[in-house]
Structure 1
């Protein structure tokens, strides 16, 4: 059982006793340790190829509505950073298109250890090979003592902070929010709460991307599916001029 080391370290007899301890708001350290033990932090570069193949035209559609050249992207539940660095590489692949733009890439996760690793952008041989093409690996990573670290130019594109999607969102509005394979682990009430927070953080003509097995149906009426794009949602009942539309692939 994942929490067995915690039970042993703190002299707690069983899970019922652990739950009682966690009810104490002062048990912050114990709470953090329990969260870390229960998270699986499963992630890899360019996870879900179809979703990432859609992102360039989604971002192009969002940018078309921007008077100022600013773009804000939030990866909620970013784990150790592979998702946010995948987006950074896509933007670098289309550098001419985004020249002159101010792009803010924010990654958040409830796990402090995951955030620390994301900031270091330091990956094992196994991690670097999961989803990452050889060209991207050689261009954007360097081998340091048997591990692979993102080059400074890529690391500097992203910032990270600890955050729980059930809490008040980071300040400001985001043009694209990715919250993929996070709500699968939530009960229904927490899914509704998380979606309400994400809706409040999304720009009127922005987009929310969920995981392939996730949906807003039954949990929120603030989103509607974005036609022609996988796992992507826009805010419902927006003004006509604020409704995000994305051209079909190949058009």
Structure 2
């Protein structure tokens, strides 16, 4: 039978998302980040107002936590990718990501235009929608690539530049490979898995012989007729995010290579 969203039937199987608990957890992280930032200033760790390097340091901490929380989701997703949405929905890392970016908006003004683009598209719009869909292991899968391991490695290198441990060109070189071979493919895979799992979810909803969810699956907080559109927000934003920032990193790397070559020629000519 051709699957259509209009014929979906639902039941009460599954675990409801703890919305209030997650809001409290995000607020807890917001306060924790404020305290961490205060401590970094007091110990003279790039204490300048709105220091990008201090924010990068906070990002490294949060990204490491995201990896810790959601690496099991990565393993579970790739173990059975067609039904990743049926797994438990761990929201802890996502709440930490949300808190960090809200903190950035609140305390690190003025933000660059590209920061506003990223924060509005991925945090203000996409993240709450993905959360409301309660996509099981896929929630952690997306967090791992969008604000987990790849970003954490690059933010760590950006801090290392300020410490004088590596050069800007070194960071551009390594980040080029991180974006090309890890982050961008991860975002593209996530876009596809989101679509594929949505199709599988619709099939299960329509088939009266199998449960649409398992006992430990999270129940979405949006109705099916809304989910059919919401899922495309996640798909499109992840596809855009992976490719858009990959292009930016590649172009930045190219500019620094050309700049280094020009400066090298000038030095030889003197």
Whether the TM-score (by the shorter chain) exceeds 0.5 is no
Query: Going by fraction, where is strand more abundant, 1 or 2?
Result: 1
* Larger gyration radius, structure 1 or structure 2: 2
TM-score of the superposed pair, with normalisation by structure 2 = 0.24
